[in-house]
């Protein structure tokens, strides 16, 4: 089955509103939107508003939040709720990115609560999963991913507004990416787990981890890879447009 391809740019802690505007001016000049492809931008929270405004009315693009809080509002200094993100123009959110899990110590349970908040709030959730190097070397890749998926997706069967991103932790920001064959094998495993959890077959499974213009085509050609989640190489508008033109 062919699913629409999703190209997701995770800007992490880069590009303030003025820089985001300059970036998008250039990106929109060089990008060639194509049917069956969506390009999503995940700017830092302060830049969601400007990105969403610039992309408004352009059906091939969407704006999202890099993280959200589990709570809808209240005395949570520094946090961004789904409602705040949506009010700023976000239509999607990343959940469980490896930096949230391994730098900020986010647990599987917090990831689950965030995912619920995103889906209940009517946004597309991109749930990130992936193993650390030691876990891969110990042969535990699929066990780790199964634990992450089962915990996060508990009770959220049959939800259409969901994509999963397979991001091996050892490949994020390291310049080391999984080969298309390795990624494809894990994607097949993820698809089986999603099936057992009752998640619809239309759910896209993206690959993330040191995707660049010169390796994206090979990844997109591999069976079961429905798009990419990209950090470093999405920070340059020309490079990102090259990636979005691949395949």
By the criterion CB under 6 A, which residues form the site for ligand PEP? 10, 167, 172-173, 208-211, 229-233
Residue 241 CB, shortest distance to ligand PEP, in Å, is 16
Q: Is 97 among the catalytic positions?
A: yes
Residue 208 CB, shortest distance to ligand PEP, in Å, is 4
Residue sitting closest to ligand PEP (CB): 231
**DSSP assigned state of 235:** S
Radius of gyration of the chain (CA): 17
Helix (H) or strand (E) holding 120: helix 108-120
User: Residue 70 or residue 210: which is nearer to ligand PEP going by CB?
Assistant: 210
User: Residue 60 or residue 212: which is nearer to ligand PEP going by CB?
Assistant: 212
* CA 185/CA 142 separation, integer angstroms: 10
Question: What's phi and psi for 11, nearest 5 deg?
Answer: -80, -10
Q: Is 187 among the catalytic positions?
A: no
User: Residue 11 or residue 61: which is nearer to ligand PEP going by CB?
Assistant: 11
Residue 77 CB, shortest distance to ligand PEP, in Å, is 25
Q: Is 42 within 8 Å of 10 (Cβ atoms)?
A: yes
Catalytic residue of the set 99, 135, 146, 167: 167
Q: Is 156 within 8 Å of 118 (Cβ atoms)?
A: no
What residue has token string 């994020």?
172
Residue 67 CB, shortest distance to ligand PEP, in Å, is 12
Residues annotated catalytic, as ranges: 97, 167
């Amino acid at each position: 089955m062919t699913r629409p391809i999703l190209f997701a740019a995770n800007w992490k802690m880069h590009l303030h509103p003025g820089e985001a505007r300059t970036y998008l001016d250039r990106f929109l000049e060089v990008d060639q939107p194509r049917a069956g492809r969506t390009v999503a931008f995940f700017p830092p929270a302060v830049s969601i508003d400007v990105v969403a405004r610039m992309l408004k009315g352009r059906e091939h693009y969407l704006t999202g939040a890099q993280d959200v809080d589990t709570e809808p509002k209240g005395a949570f200094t520094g946090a961004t709720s789904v409602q705040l993100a949506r009010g700023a123009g976000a239509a999607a959110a990343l959940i469980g990115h490896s930096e949230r899990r391994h730098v900020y110590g986010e647990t599987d349970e917090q990831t689950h609560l965030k995912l619920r908040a995103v889906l209940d709030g009517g946004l597309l959730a991109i749930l990130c999963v992936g193993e650390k190097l030691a876990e891969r070397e110990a042969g535990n890749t699929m066990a780790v991913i199964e634990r992450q998926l089962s915990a996060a997706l508990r009770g959220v069967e049959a939800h259409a507004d969901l994509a999963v991103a397979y991001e091996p932790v050892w490949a994020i920001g390291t310049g080391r990416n999984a080969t298309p064959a390795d990624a494809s094998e894990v994607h097949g495993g993820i698809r089986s787990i999603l099936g057992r959890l009752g998640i619809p077959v239309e759910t896209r499974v993206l690959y993330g981890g040191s995707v660049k213009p010169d390796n994206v085509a090979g990844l997109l050609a591999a069976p079961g890879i429905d798009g990419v989640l990209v950090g470093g190489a999405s920070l340059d508008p020309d490079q990102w447009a090259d990636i979005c033109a691949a395949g």
